[in-house]
Amino acid sequence: MTTAPAPVRRPGVKLWRERLRRHQVRTWLLYLPLCTMSSSLALGAFEYRRGGYVEGVMSNLAVGVWLVAMAAAVSLAWRRRLPELVVLWAALVTLVLPIDPVAALIAFGSLMVRRLDRVTAALGVLVTAATGAATWRDSRGTTIDSSFWQFLRSNDKSATFAPLPWWVVALITVALVGVVAGMALLLRSRSSLTQVQLVVEEQRAAVDHLSDEVGRQAERERIAQEVHDALGHRLSLLSLHAGALEVTSEDNPRVAESAALVRANAQQSMADLRSLLAMLRQPDSPDVAAAVPSLDDVPALIDETVATGVNIVSTVQLEALARLDDTTSRSAFRIVQELLTNARRHAPGIGVRVAIRATPELGVEIVVGNHLPSHVPVDFRPGSGLDGIRNRVTALGGDFRCFVDGQRVFRVAVRLPWLWAAELGPVWTPGEGVTGGAVS
């Protein structure tokens, strides 16, 4: 079985087809020459019928009518902006003057492509009447020179015929209007089909997006299950053994206190793990968002860190947190949490100074400093935790600094821009929601 080769389209034909898709180009390169030719033939036949035809010369009346016909043809340039007025004007001119109905039919077809209602029906009746009147006038001629439609009988210029009967005139009128209406409906259906195809493409894109989202959700579920299986059991065992150690160490208060602290932190870690797994499974859930800590929880975080034996001097100033963007507030909490964890891990037994200010004027400023242990060189390389903080701050459009000063104090300074909560907007009262304090 052989496949027929696809037809070869010449570049010139394709270029003209693209040009004629623009309505202004069609007006000047197609419709205006067509109206000019048809109006000239109609006026020539009119001159023959009235007996005033002189070869190569048009009477003053014919020139005036021809100018009006050209005005009707030129008005087709506004058939999209003022379709009803153009149809009305072209139909009335055709009804009153001895010109052809080409301009009126073109304007009516353009109107039908855009709307189908009572106004279009009324203008259709007017265009049909104008087309019938123009055809009737032309059919009164008895020769080919005086009637365009007499060519249906013969092409002999010397032959004389009777005027066309009324039913032939009606048939020609219905045929002309029917062809124009059929082409307009065809173009309208093609336009509707194009719109439907666009909707289908949009729906297909939406389905593809949903399919991708379902795939990502399945992957998040798998990761969440693996994390739960890997860490949940170990944290449960840690909490269980810490509780047992707390019970069996009643004679040693320091060990019992440390065991209680380990058990409390294990339980808190389990709660955090459940919150993170819920966020992984349903990141947009409002219940999950409420469970994620924010800047409101920073004082409690500092108290927990102090309970582990870390000496902290803190200054916390929080204003209008209810009107701060949730993402910024949660990110600031995670930054403080990571910095305190780093200080506790890499500088054990060394005091930490924390300064946190969050105001609409200043934004969110976080400064944490601690002395370096004696065995740590000044030119040490920051680890992945600080790199993660830097990336988080950069993503929020903030500033990040990390350095060691002349007194071997390791300092981290973070500034995040203040972003207003979308549902509240930039309206606040100075002093609203202020939290301050010092812990040592």
CA angle 147/150/156 to nearest 5° reads 105
Q: Is 218 among the domain residues?
A: no
Which of 122, 140, 164 is a domain's end point? Answer: 164
What's the rounded mean pLDDT across residues 387-392?
84
Q: Decide if pLDDT at 437 tops 50.
A: no
Which of 118, 136, 164 is a domain's end point? Answer: 164
d(CA 30, CA 88): 21
Q: Is 18 among the domain residues?
A: yes
Cβ pair 351, 306 in contact under 8 A = no
What's the rounded mean pLDDT across residues 155-177?
86
Q: Which neighbouring-strand residues pair with 403?
A: 411
Q: Is 141 among the domain residues?
A: yes
- Predicted pLDDT of residue 61: 83
CATH number of the CATH domain containing 311: 3.30.565.10
Q: Is 281 among the domain residues?
A: no
What's the rounded mean pLDDT across residues 146-168?
80
Phi, psi of 57 (to 5 degrees): -130, 135
Q: Is 341 among the domain residues?
A: yes
Q: Which neighbouring-strand residues pair with 352?
A: 312, 370
Q: Is 272 among the domain residues?
A: no
Distance, first Cα to last Cα, the chain? 90
- Predicted pLDDT of residue 288: 47
Tokens representing 63? 């020139």
pLDDT digits (tens, 9 = 90+) for 280-334: 666 555 544 455 688 888 888 888 888 877 888 888 888 888 888 888 888 899 8
Number of domains in the chain: 2
- Predicted pLDDT of residue 277: 67
Q: Decide if pLDDT at 343 tops 80.
A: yes
Range of the domain at 344: 294-440
Q: What is the pTM of this model?
A: 0.48
Q: Is 223 among the domain residues?
A: no
- Predicted pLDDT of residue 176: 92
Instruction: Please indicate, yes or no, whether residues 159 and 304 belong to a single structural domain of this protein.
Output: no
Q: How confident is the model at residue 279 (pLDDT cuts 50, 70, 90)?
A: low
d(CA 298, CA 6): 72
Q: How confident is the model at residue 121 (pLDDT cuts 50, 70, 90)?
A: very high
Which of 112, 139, 164 is a domain's end point? Answer: 164
Q: How confident is the model at residue 415 (pLDDT cuts 50, 70, 90)?
A: very high
Cβ pair 269, 235 in contact under 8 A = yes
pLDDT digits (tens, 9 = 90+) for 78-112: 888 888 999 999 999 999 888 889 999 999 998 99
Q: Are strands 399-404 and 409-416 parallel, antiparallel or unpaired?
A: antiparallel
Tokens representing 10? 């010449």
What does the mean pLDDT of the chain come to? 79
What's the rounded mean pLDDT across residues 115-129?
92
Q: Is 28 among the domain residues?
A: yes
- Predicted pLDDT of residue 434: 46
